[in-house]
Amino acid sequence: MEAVPPGSVIVADWYRNPDSRDFFTKILHKKKRRVFGLLEAPVMPPHLKADTVRYKVFISGKSGVGKTALAARLAGHQIPNMHYETTGMETSIVFWPVKLKESSRVLFFQFQLWDCGENAMRRFDHMLTSCKEQVDAILFLFSFTDHGSFKDISNQMSRFTDPSDRVVRLVVGTKFDLFMHTDVTESEITRFQEVSRVPVFRVGGDVSEGFGEIAPLLNALAENLWHQDCIHASSASLPPQPHPEDTNREVIV
Ligand SMILES: Nc1nc2c(ncn2[C@@H]2O[C@H](COP(=O)(O)OP(=O)(O)O)[C@@H](O)[C@H]2O)c(=O)[nH]1
Ligand SMILES: [Mg+2]
């Protein structure tokens, strides 16, 4: 599915808007990002109740590209300086408040990020299977310092998803802060976006206070996931067509 233009489904840059403050303070702790465990959620006062919608997001890319660093950046964890291959699989939770444009309804998106080390992936078939199982979105990573990783993005995308899947696909270029060593040109990025119709986001560098550097990616995830769900819901509300195989199947209620 094609990505929707930024700001078409949700209020763009809502984190900058004063009326979002009550929601964004819930994902902060002492001016830093608040770290949420698997079963935790922001607690809102009754007059500001917001529903939470949950999504599974898989982070894909070769070893050293910056998957673990991106997960940490998005979740507000300390970004590791050293590269050590992620052993097995790690998940982290990101909450992100969003205001829908049409209804002005506020939702907390809960992204569960899945970050899997390549060795584990290679050695255990079930790892990839469980990463892909009921996945809602995939972030395809390349590094700006590694042209090969950029070239490989199209392969990765076709290996992981087929266009009929209900999966939001976004591309993230990491290590954008190392522009002195950049190996991928702006025109290559532009061309890729035109051909694949998948937006490319740029991340890198130290994490500063505030949401400016993660907001575009988290907003795009939220917006496209919501859009995907709306499309699915509207097609599901059409009168159900009998499926040939279903006719003699027993219906268990
Ligand atoms: N300068 C810079 N270094 C990065 C960035 N992302 C990751 N790194 C470094 O690249 C190395 C590999 O990152 P890591 O997240 O462990 O890669 P993974 O194998 O894909 O999980 C680490 O030393 C990170 O500190 C970035 O955006 N900028
Ligand atoms: Mg890792």
- Domains of the chain in start order, with CATH, are 50-103+120-233 (3.40.50.300)
**Amino acid found at 133:** E
Question: Quick one: tokens of 253?
Answer: 């209620």
- CB under 5 Å of ion ligand 2: residues: 67-68, 86
* Residue whose CB lies within 8 A of the most ligand 1 atoms, among 92, 116, 174, for a mutation test: 174
Backbone angles phi, psi at 172, to 5 degrees: -125, 125
Instruction: Provide the greatest CA pair distance for the chain.
Output: 65
Q: How far is the centre of ligand 2, averaged over its atoms, from the C-alpha of 85 (Å)?
A: 5
pLDDT of residue 242: 47
Q: Is 169 in the pocket of ligand 1 (CB under 6 A)?
A: no
Q: Is 82 in the pocket of ligand 1 (CB under 6 A)?
A: yes
Q: Is 68 in the pocket of ligand 1 (CB under 6 A)?
A: yes
pLDDT of residue 238: 57
85-118 burial, b at 16+ Cβ within 10 Å, e below that, comes to ebeeebebbbbbbbbbeeeeebbbbbbbbbbbbb
Contacts of 171 (CB under 8 A, 6+ apart): 139, 140, 141, 142, 153, 192, 196, 198, 199, 200, 201
Ligand nearest to the CA of 117: 2
Low-confidence ranges of the chain (pLDDT < 50): 240-253
Q: How far is the centre of ligand 1, averaged over its atoms, from the C-alpha of 142 (Å)?
A: 11
pLDDT of residue 84: 76
pLDDT of residue 82: 75
Residue 113 · residue 86 · CB < 8 Å: no
Q: Is 181 in the pocket of ligand 1 (CB under 6 A)?
A: no
